Amino acid sequence: MKAREAAAQVRAELEAAGIPDAAMEAELLTRHASGLSRSAFFADEPVAEGAWDELRALTTRRLRREPTPYLTGLREFHGLELVVGPGALIPRPETELLVEVGLRELKRDPGATVLDLGTGCGAIAIAVATAAPGTRVIAADLSADALRVAALNVKRHGVPVSLVQSDLTRAIRRADIILANLPYVPEGIIETLQPEVQHYEPRVALNGGEDGLDLVRALLADCESRLRPRLVAFEIGMGQARHVVEAAEALGAEAGIEHDLVGWERVVTARWA
């Protein structure tokens, strides 16, 4: 069977199951199972029998709503190909805004130490270290499973990122710029999320407490009382920006809101003089 015919069969099954972006997902699964490059896929090269069996197995798992990045083991982020696995949250395109905020701040203070807090697979830290060589970058996470995935990516990209297991910033002595992608999903709505998220991604990376902001408030308090970074930037969910701004301002910070490419309030920044 040729590659594009195989992908068409997978696409039809995914579409029938109501899975979004079925064409792209079918291509990714077909290429992963067959080992074909994108150019070879579009040249419609044949899929070996063993690869077809692998593709059928992957399709069955995807129909059970297992996320495609966990099936392929890879995810692109900020132009980088990253290893991903069930121990770490899958990086989202919107999180690239945190990277851009950090890089913009580094232009003002090239010698700053950057902390990627809640690093997961290491996406933010590795993107910053790649875009700003020579920057001291620390990647911290509570989860040992996530840090194991992050270590694979640090090695893969050959960047000097220090990995630290830490409950928030307890193991951190200093950071000038903190890029925080902490759990911010309200506990009560986790069960309403897509099956790919609620059944497969680590709950500890999602659950932000009753209103989603427990860890955000805790980090703000630690920044105000101990760390005193130049900047802390939080990725937040819909409707949370105003509450985070108010919490930051109550602690004496100057707060601002950054919008993502579709205009949503995606990042809140807080600065201390």
pLDDT at position 40 is: 92
pTM of the model: 0.94
Q: What residues contact residue 209 under an 8 Å CB cut-off, 6+ apart? A: 186, 187, 215
Count the neighbouring beta carbons within 10 Å of the beta carbon of residue 221: 13
pLDDT at position 273 is: 78
Residue 25 corresponds to which tokens in the numbers above? 């997902």
Confidence of residue 98 (pLDDT cuts 50, 70, 90): very high
Is pLDDT above 90 for 123? yes
pLDDT at position 88 is: 97
∠230-232-233 over CA atoms, to 5°? 140
For the stretch 164-185, pLDDT in tens is 999 999 999 999 999 999 999 9
Mean pLDDT score of the chain, rounded to an integer? 96
What is the 3-state composition of the chain as percent helix, strand, coil, each rounded to the nearest 5? Answer: 50, 20, 35
Contact 207, 183 (CB under 8 A): yes
Confidence of residue 213 (pLDDT cuts 50, 70, 90): very high
Task: For the chain, give the percent of residues with pLDDT over 90.
Answer: 96
Residue 176 corresponds to which tokens in the numbers above? 């000038």
What distance in Å separates the CA atoms of residue 238 and residue 185, rounded to the nearest whole number? 10
Confidence of residue 84 (pLDDT cuts 50, 70, 90): very high
Tell me the average pLDDT across 76-98: 97
Residue type, 145: D
Which superfamily does CATH assign the domain made up of 89-271 to? Vaccinia Virus protein VP39 (3.40.50.150)
What distance in Å separates the CA atoms of residue 230 and residue 245, rounded to the nearest whole number? 16
